[in-house]
Each structure stands twice: as structure tokens, then as C-alpha cells.
Amino acid sequence: MHFDNVRLLVHDFAASFHFWHEIMGLPLIFRDAGGETYAYFEAGGARLELLSAGYFAQSLGQDAPAPASMRGAVVFKVDDGDAKFAALVARGAAPLAEPKDRSEWFCRSAHLAAPDGYVVEIFKSLGGFPGNA
């Protein structure tokens, strides 16, 4: 697995976008077409994602708005997401969402529960994402 980024699940997307982009000065790589659910920033050699908590919860088949216990995600890029997901579940990881093609995210991803309300995402790129050019 290759560490890819940290995703913050936010409840006030506009305020969070303003803070990370305008105040902290992180360069914007990509923002969703509507500008209200997703942003991807360069962060000094790493990447930071903002994602609407409600949108993320719905994407995983959870109730929206997202539970307050769902705080953020650590994201790993993998060569074979289905095999890695199965291996992690076999080792005791609790699945949140089975591997699924998510064309709107430019990837096939799966999600696992981590302690303290965090989520682990593993993904394989489907290509086309501006931040991975």
C-alpha cells in the first residue's frame, strides 16, 4: 500500500474550503463541479482532501448527515483493491463498504472502520483524476 492523502470529513464545506485555501494558502488541485462537496489540495509534498461528511456517508450507504463519530479518512492507493480489502477483512478489519467502482471519484474504492471514528479507504485509480496527472 502507498499512503496517498488525508481526507477531512467536513460539515461546513464553504468554511473549511476558505480556511484551507484562503487562510492556510494550500494550492487547489481539483474541486468538484458544484464546488460544494469535494476539494483536493497540495500540502507541501502531501495531499489534503476536503469532503462533505454527508456526501461521504451517503456514498458508503450510511445515513446522512454523517454520524459525528465519522471524523476523517486515511487513504491508501493499492494495486488490487479487491484482494487487499479481502486480506484486511480476513485479518480482522471491519468493512464499511465493499469494493466498488466510483467513476465520480475516478477510482475503485473500499472502506474499512478504524478506531475512534476514522475510516481507512483503499483505492485503485480508474484514471482521469487531475491530481494524479
Contacts of 74 (CB under 8 A, 6+ apart): 3, 6, 7, 114, 118, 119, 120, 121
C-alpha cell at 120: 481507512
C-alpha cell at 62: 450510511
Q: With bands split at pLDDT 50, 70 and 90, how would you rate the model's confidence at 132?
A: low
DSSP H/E element including 53:
helix 53-59
In the predicted model, is pLDDT for residue 54 greater than 60? Answer: yes
The answer to whether 82 and 91 are in contact (CB under 8 A) is no
CATH number of 2-128: 3.10.180.10
How many angstroms from the chain centroid is the CA of residue 24?
20
d(CA 63, CA 79): 30
Q: Given its phi and psi angles, is residue 75 left (phi above 0), alpha (psi -120 to 50 degrees) or beta?
A: beta
Dump pLDDT digits (tens) for 86-129: 999 999 998 999 999 998 888 999 998 877 678 889 999 888 87
Segments making up each domain of the chain, as ranges: 2-128
